[in-house]
Amino acid sequence: MTDLKKVIFVIENITLKVGRTISWLILFMTLTAFSVALLRYFFNIGFVWMQESYIWMHGLIFLFGASYALMNDKHVRVDIFYRLTSEKIKALINIIFSILFLILTSMPIAF
């Protein structure tokens, strides 16, 4: 059991470091999006690579930030129903919707 605790400790430390690092990407993404809008609408200059870059940054933030948010219990939920339930029901809701979230995010999207 102590080996499992060590593994969990390592994974949590990695998640914490990645989450703190990725939070700086939010600032960089915001500045990039602001720059794209400023260049495009005020100076009539557009760079496709710059527009693509903040879309990719947004994806990275969701990809790596989701584990950090789940670890710190900061993810979005409907608290109107959630706060009225017991701890056992809350844990069950968290497990079910975490599995559902993982299944839906791993499915390819067909347009």
Question: What confidence category does residue 23 fall into, taking pLDDT thresholds of 50, 70 and 90?
Answer: confident
pLDDT at 110: 58
Average pLDDT, integer, range 8-19: 89
pLDDT band for 109, please (50, 70, 90 cuts).
Answer: low
Q: Which residue has the tokens 């470091």?
A: 17
Q: 91-98 contacts: CB < 8 A, separation 24 or more?
A: 98/70
Q: What is d(CA 108, CA 90) in angstroms, rounded to the nearest whole number?
A: 29
Please choose, from the candidates 70, 74, 60, 71, the residue with its C-alpha nearest in 3D space to the C-alpha of residue 97: 70
Q: How far is CA 29 from the centre of its chain?
A: 14
What whole-number distance in Å separates Cα of residue 56 and Cα of residue 33? Answer: 12
CA 22 remoteness from chain centre:
9
Q: H/E element holding 46?
A: none
Q: How many CB atoms lie within 10 A of CB 68?
A: 20
Q: Domain-by-domain residue ranges, the chain?
A: 1-75, 76-111
Cα 25 to Cα 60: distance, rounded to the nearest angstrom:
9
Angle made by CA atoms 62, 65, 70, in degrees to the nearest 5: 115
Dump pLDDT digits (tens) for 26-82.
899 999 999 999 998 889 888 888 888 888 888 888 888 877 887 777 767 667 777
For residue 35, the model assigns a pLDDT of 92
